[in-house]
Amino acid sequence: MPELPEVETIRRGLESAILNKQITDLQVKKPKLLRNKQAYFFNTLKNNSIVNIDRIGKLLIFVLADKQNYLLVHLKMTGQLIYTKGGQMVAGGHKQAILGKLPNRYSHIIFHFTDGSKLFFNDMRQFGYMELVKDTEPIIKRYGIEPGTDNFTWENFQKVFVNRRIAIKVLLLNQQLISGIGNIYADEICYRAKVRPDRGVNTLTIAEKKKLFTATKYIIKKAVVNRGTTFSDYRDTSGQPGNFVKFLKVYGRAGQKCLSCRQVNIKKVKLGGRGTHFCSRCQK
């Protein structure tokens, strides 16, 4: 699943490609990916245009020219947005969707623009969605503090731990507390902070919380700069793999020697239904 760094990379790429282009037509092949009635979705977007692209956590927010509507786009597990114009392609999300001719069997929603360019919403597993809303404030309020923004302060970070006894990683993945962090970056954050992801947040000292705070800012910033992480299912907006994969210390390294201590192998366990990686020697 694309996490904050991947979705931010997609946002930046599309922002340079589709702004202020009038939508002349829409094809909706899988209405279940819409959270609106198909006719309403079509009538609202046809002849409209996108004037800005915002993001909160992993959610993309397309600001429409009519100044009355916003288009929300969530890629979930395997969604992808692909912009094409002639030989140009701006794409991000799931690798499988880029392969082959477009449209393909995963092309479920297609936007047509006046200049002949197109925006494809592909989704192999069909968990992603698009939704038109009149107001984004209630949606934004559902999300917690976000690394890289002004509200991600030490004061606000401390507050998310108050009266909670859940595992550290579970807290990091809770989008209502901290937005944008997914499985990959939660493991990397815990490793950099030298705390086990399965520890209860109520056992952390102030010093350890500060290490988590600093590690979160560092990991997310570095991942954004390096266009995210690539495995089998992600390419950035230029169709290239994210470079942060070169900096991974624990995620995807189960059974391999820890890069810091060189003494023990990285362990992988299930935590909250997620594969979780850590070094039993370096992380306390």
pLDDT digits (tens, 9 = 90+) for 45-88: 999 999 999 999 999 999 999 989 999 999 998 898 999 998 78
The residues spanned by each domain of the chain are 4-140, 154-278
Domain topology for 4-140:
N-terminal domain of MutM-like DNA repair proteins (3.20.190)
Catalytic residue numbers read 2-3, 58, 274
Q: For position 246, what pLDDT does the model report?
A: 86
Q: Which residues contact 99 (CB under 8 A, 6 or more apart)?
A: none
pLDDT tens, position by position, 250-284: 999 999 999 999 999 999 999 988 999 999 999 99
**CA–CA distances in Å: residue 62 to residues 11, 116, 130, 133, 219:** 9, 20, 10, 10, 27
The pair of structure tokens assigned to 16 is: 């340079």
Q: For position 209, what pLDDT does the model report?
A: 98
**CA–CA distances in Å: residue 278 to residues 4, 26, 221, 228, 231:** 21, 46, 21, 20, 19
Residue 210, φ and ψ in degrees, nearest 5 = -65, -40
How many of the other CB atoms lie within 10 Å of CB of 231?
A: 13
pLDDT tens, position by position, 156-202: 999 999 999 999 999 999 999 999 999 999 999 999 999 999 999 99
Reported as a pLDDT band with limits 50, 70 and 90, residue 32 is very high
Q: For position 232, what pLDDT does the model report?
A: 43
Reported as a pLDDT band with limits 50, 70 and 90, residue 97 is very low
Backbone conformation region of residue 262, classed left if phi is above 0, alpha if psi is from -120 to 50, else beta: left
DSSP state of 76: T
User: Contact 81/68 with Cβ under 8 angstroms?
Assistant: no
Q: Which residues contact 155 (CB under 8 A, 6 or more apart)?
A: none
User: Contact 75/83 with Cβ under 8 angstroms?
Assistant: no
CATH for 154-278, options being 3.40.50.1000, 3.40.50.10140, 1.10.8.50, 1.10.540.10: 1.10.8.50
Average of per-residue pLDDT across 3-32: 94
* Amino acid at site 122: N
DSSP state of 132: E
Burial of 14 (0-12, 13-18, 19+ CB in 10 A): buried
Among 173, 89, 83, 94, which Cα is nearest to 128's? 94
**CA–CA distances in Å: residue 169 to residues 32, 62, 134, 207, 210:** 32, 30, 34, 17, 15
Residue 100, φ and ψ in degrees, nearest 5 = 85, 180
Q: Which residues contact 206 (CB under 8 A, 6 or more apart)?
A: none
